[in-house]
A and B are shown apart, each in its own frame.
Chain A
Amino acid sequence: MPDYAPVDLSRADVVEFELNGRAVTAPAGTMLVDACAAHGVEVPIFCYEPRLGDPLGACRMCLVRVEGLLGLTTACSTPVAEEMIVDTVSDEVKDAQDGILELLLENHPLDCPVCDKGGECPLQDLTFRFGPGQSRMIEPKRHFPKPLELSSQIALDRERCISCYRCVRFSQDVSEDGDLTMSERGGRSEITTFTGEAYEGRFTGNVIDLCPVGALTSIPYRFVSRPWDVQNTPSVCASCSVGCNTELTVREGEIKRVQGREEPNWEVEEGWICDVGRWGYGADRAPQRLRQPILRDGDDIRDCSLEEAVAAAGLLLARQPRTSVLLGGDATVEEAFIARELAAGPLPNGQTGTAGVAGAALGPLRALPGAQLGDIDGADLIVVVGGDPANQHPVVELRLRKARRSGIRMLVAGPRAHEIESLGEGTRTPPGRLAAGLAAAVEAIAEAERPIVIWDELDLDAEPDAAAVLADALSQAPSGRQVELPAEVNGAGIRALGIAPYSSLLGREALGGVLAVRADPGAGPGAEAWDRALESAGPVIAIASHHNTLTERATVVVPCSSHYEHEGVLVTVGQRAQRLRPGAAGPQHSAPGWEILIALAHRLGVAPEYRSARSAFAAAAAGTPALAGLDYESLGELGAPIAAPPATDVNGAGAPRGFQGEGLPLVTGRAAFGGAVSHLAEGLASVASGEEAVLHPAEAARLGVGDAGDVSLSSPNGACTLRLRLDESAPQGVVFAIRGVPGGGVEGLLAPDSAPVKVTVGPA
């Protein structure tokens, strides 16, 4: 709050009108309330929120005088008109504003001293600026039982509610879960869910940001702090590759709260964040957080200081005949750059690799003109290929629902049954046959004027022929654009630095000494192959923020910063480079990843000229065409797209890939709350979901596991046991499994390069 729509006063098609005696202009179609804001005139609002759809006109706070119209008019629902005469400061208007606030305060409880919203409360602020200084209300106020737990994370106080309907409209018209509604009528109206069920979903926390009073508040943040005791730092969420812009609320070096930005990033998330992004910061406090550097010698584990750990790492690595640098998919550009420099420089025979897939066939697609998520609003056709945005790139789901509501045609093709499928014309394709299933999409792209293709990296990597079909179709569409849904948080950034997947490091020679930066190959595809490779590898230096399979066996464990605790750049959806900013201080014996790597460089005998994250990024940008011209200044608070990679020659890489193994094709996906963050963050405990395999009931019966609670799956790469769920909407001839769940084991079924795989399914 406040949530006026941005107004581009520089547009040519403007309307001239008079505002409080001044001649002003605004683009035709602008709502009066936004036009006033753009000209520095505040028309107070509560229920108005352009992201929620058409104006509601319910709160009546924005009443102004428009000459010629009967009575006062709501500025939120009145578009500017040529020669309109508007008065927002007359006595009549001021009395109306005072009156609305008086009426809102009539039943509003005197909770300010104990209300979390105090100090950042629009009702307080507007009362101060526009409302009565004294109360003449002596009647008993309306009461409701309070506070109620709307969910384990959201507290509901119905007495404070001013019936602005923002939360209800979010639930009905943005996330479209329809679980939060207004019940009863008149003064007894109350926000509720279905007979008191918890309001749980992917985006529930946004209602806290939307609520202009203390009716919906964060339970983890309850009584934690007052606004004047905290710093709010703009940053970016690193829980998935969408890269929603966030705001970190920090007090005394600790993250107390994460919110959407008050000034949304219209190109990315337009102010929304998912519940993982909102409450995931709790993962930094989990017992699995690495707080203590250690040196490991067989069973002997010794605590040490950071300096000792880095020194030991340098000594160990320098002695190796060869070294492998493994980067996690969320390593920042700075970390990846410095690590790459180490491998190319002082580390003996160093090779660098990162998590993720090769994507050889994705080059042509990636080279095509790219779009930002914000461009979806202006498309006339959206094609969603592969993936499961609702679960894997949550805020993209909101974008797609918004597009559907505004009538944009949507085609969906892919192997999964998911919610986005039901939003458009869906084509479900068996694994390996996506290319054939794109016929309708290809035709639609040819006919459309502004098509946007949203495509999932992993699914198109598995089906290169489909990638080729899409690239071909799009390249012929004059205004066609594409948006990649990357598997790794900073996949695009690390790839821009020329770093290949670390799966390519397996199998040739031994890994040698391993320097891992946020990497955990043992929890990724080809887990068993990695286990063997690490068995025969030299010493492992694991730099990580949390315990993982690598830190459990590493020779040196160096705790590093989480993404809430350092400067760094991530290149997220839309090939958009965005800056992380430090909020929390991090554990005492940890340090930012870039700092540890620079210290390691010194230990290895080199002294890089960069000594900060900022200068490390500058050095990276200097040598990387994709990052040309970017620096921390130009990235600012909203980020900027990097340059598209040059078109590559695919050399037959568009050929379909065959399946490894026998049995049913395996399609994997992530559950929104199935990842590590949900399992580590206390706030997400009630929604954290587990691993599961999904089969159509007929398929399950055919395999003899129709009644089984658990099933075992095995592939040439490994085996695991999963809980089985039967689902009639799942296609036959395929088995689905949720990956990314800590300890789940699905990754073990996959090859290190995530090649398409078939699995045998049997009773556990």
Chain B
Amino acid sequence: MTAEQIRAYLDPFRDQFAEERSLVLPALKFAQTEKGHLTGEDLAAVAAATNLTPAYVESIASFYDRLYLDPVGKRVVSVCVSISCMLNGSDELLEHLCSREGLSGEGGTGADREITIQEAQCLGACDRAPCLQVDAEETMGPVSLEDADGLIERLRAQPQPSPVLR
């Protein structure tokens, strides 16, 4: 992602903010839609497009859970592990997903870089516990182990959406 592309994205709503610095978060989210994560070059491009230093941009990006500074899978599956989901079996759901993907209990990305399984904090879908979210799509639940298997297979079969919204 280049600084020019990011500037072009920001231009239409630049004047909605009294200070330019506010643009850094939308800029980061936009830059991430290209590959699904942010490289050093992406951060530098965001810095150039927002008149901030690359170090500053990195400090912002690293603050948030949904901005990825390391490569992640084609699809990111976030399993909610907060209290309501935990009470409804999300730990088993997470463990099941991790083990079928060959990952340790805390999640990660498989060798084929297709699917990242990660813990998420309360997704606001406690009425559908246990729930999970694929990238930034509508949170789904209640998810049974069979549902989860079916989901992962379907995600593998699909191409990565573009833009990638995490």
Interface residues of A (CB under 8 A from B): 172, 177-185, 192-195, 197
Residue in chain B with minimal CB distance to A193:
B55
Task: Let me know if B54 and A194 touch, CB within 8 A.
Answer: yes
Residues of B within 8 A of A172 (CB): 56
**Is the CB of B52 closer than 8 A to any CB of chain A?**
yes
Q: Decide if the interface of chain B is mainly helix, strand, loop or mixed.
A: helix
CA A194 to CA B43, docked complex, whole Å: 9
Task: Let me know if B56 and A181 touch, CB within 8 A.
Answer: yes
Residues of B within 8 A of A195 (CB): 40, 43, 54, 58
Task: Let me know if A178 and B55 touch, CB within 8 A.
Answer: yes
Task: Let me know if B59 and A182 touch, CB within 8 A.
Answer: yes
Q: A185-B63, A193-B55 are in contact. List 15 more A-B contacts (CB 8 A).
A: A172-B56, A177-B53, A178-B53, A179-B53, A180-B55, A181-B58, A182-B59, A183-B63, A185-B62, A192-B58, A194-B44, A194-B54, A194-B58, A195-B43, A195-B54
Given A194-B43, A195-B40, CB of A183 within 8 Å of CB of B53: no
CA A184 to CA B59, docked complex, whole Å: 7
Task: Let me know if B53 and A194 touch, CB within 8 A.
Answer: yes
Expressed in whole angstroms, the minimum distance between the Cβ of A374 and any Cβ of chain B is 29
Residues of B within 8 A of A179 (CB): 53, 55
Residues of B within 8 A of A184 (CB): 62-63
Contact pattern, B 33-52, Cβ under 8 Å of A = 1, otherwise 0: 00000001001100000001
Closest 9 CB pairs of A and B: A181-B59, A178-B53, A194-B55, A194-B54, A183-B62, A181-B55, A195-B40, A179-B55, A183-B59
Expressed in whole angstroms, the minimum distance between the Cβ of A214 and any Cβ of chain B is 23
Residues of A within 8 A of B59 (CB): 181-183, 192
Expressed in whole angstroms, the minimum distance between the Cβ of B130 and any Cβ of chain A is 25
Interface residues of B (CB under 8 A from A): 40, 43-44, 52-56, 58-59, 62-63
CA A537 to CA B56, docked complex, whole Å: 59
Residues of B within 8 A of A181 (CB): 55-56, 58-59
Residue in chain B with minimal CB distance to A197:
B55
Residues of B within 8 A of A197 (CB): 55
Expressed in whole angstroms, the minimum distance between the Cβ of A620 and any Cβ of chain B is 48
CA A181 to CA B60, docked complex, whole Å: 9
Residues of A within 8 A of B58 (CB): 181, 183, 192, 194-195
Task: Let me know if A192 and B63 touch, CB within 8 A.
Answer: no
CA A197 to CA B44, docked complex, whole Å: 13
Q: Most chain-B Cβ atoms within 10 A of its Cβ — which of A172, A195, A197? A: A195
Residue in chain B with minimal CB distance to A172:
B56
Residues of A within 8 A of B44 (CB): 194
Residues of B within 8 A of A193 (CB): 55
Residue in chain B with minimal CB distance to A185:
B63
22 contacts between A and B (CB under 8 A): A172-B56, A178-B52, A178-B53, A178-B56, A179-B53, A179-B55, A180-B55, A181-B55, A181-B59, A182-B59, A183-B58, A183-B59, A183-B62, A183-B63, A184-B63, A185-B63, A192-B55, A194-B43, A194-B53, A194-B54, A194-B55, A195-B43
Residues of A within 8 A of B40 (CB): 194-195
Residues of B within 8 A of A185 (CB): 62-63
Expressed in whole angstroms, the minimum distance between the Cβ of B135 and any Cβ of chain A is 21
Q: Most chain-A Cβ atoms within 10 A of its Cβ — which of B44, B53, B59, B63? A: B59
CA A177 to CA B59, docked complex, whole Å: 14
Q: Most chain-A Cβ atoms within 10 A of its Cβ — which of B40, B43, B44, B56? A: B56
Expressed in whole angstroms, the minimum distance between the Cβ of A207 and any Cβ of chain B is 14
CA A177 to CA B55, docked complex, whole Å: 10
Residue in chain A with minimal CB distance to B54:
A194
Q: Most chain-A Cβ atoms within 10 A of its Cβ — which of B40, B52, B53? A: B53
Expressed in whole angstroms, the minimum distance between the Cβ of A443 and any Cβ of chain B is 30
CA A177 to CA B63, docked complex, whole Å: 20
Expressed in whole angstroms, the minimum distance between the Cβ of A435 and any Cβ of chain B is 34
Residues of B within 8 A of A194 (CB): 40, 43-44, 53-55, 58
CA A49 to CA B63, docked complex, whole Å: 25
CA A182 to CA B40, docked complex, whole Å: 16
Residue in chain B with minimal CB distance to A168:
B59
Residue in chain B with minimal CB distance to A199:
B55
Residues of A within 8 A of B56 (CB): 172, 178, 181
Residues of A within 8 A of B43 (CB): 194-195
Q: Most chain-A Cβ atoms within 10 A of its Cβ — which of B43, B58, B62? A: B62
Expressed in whole angstroms, the minimum distance between the Cβ of A170 and any Cβ of chain B is 13
CA A184 to CA B52, docked complex, whole Å: 18
Expressed in whole angstroms, the minimum distance between the Cβ of A328 and any Cβ of chain B is 39
Residues of B within 8 A of A178 (CB): 52-53, 55-56
CA A178 to CA B53, docked complex, whole Å: 6
CA A192 to CA B53, docked complex, whole Å: 13
Residue in chain A with minimal CB distance to B56:
A178
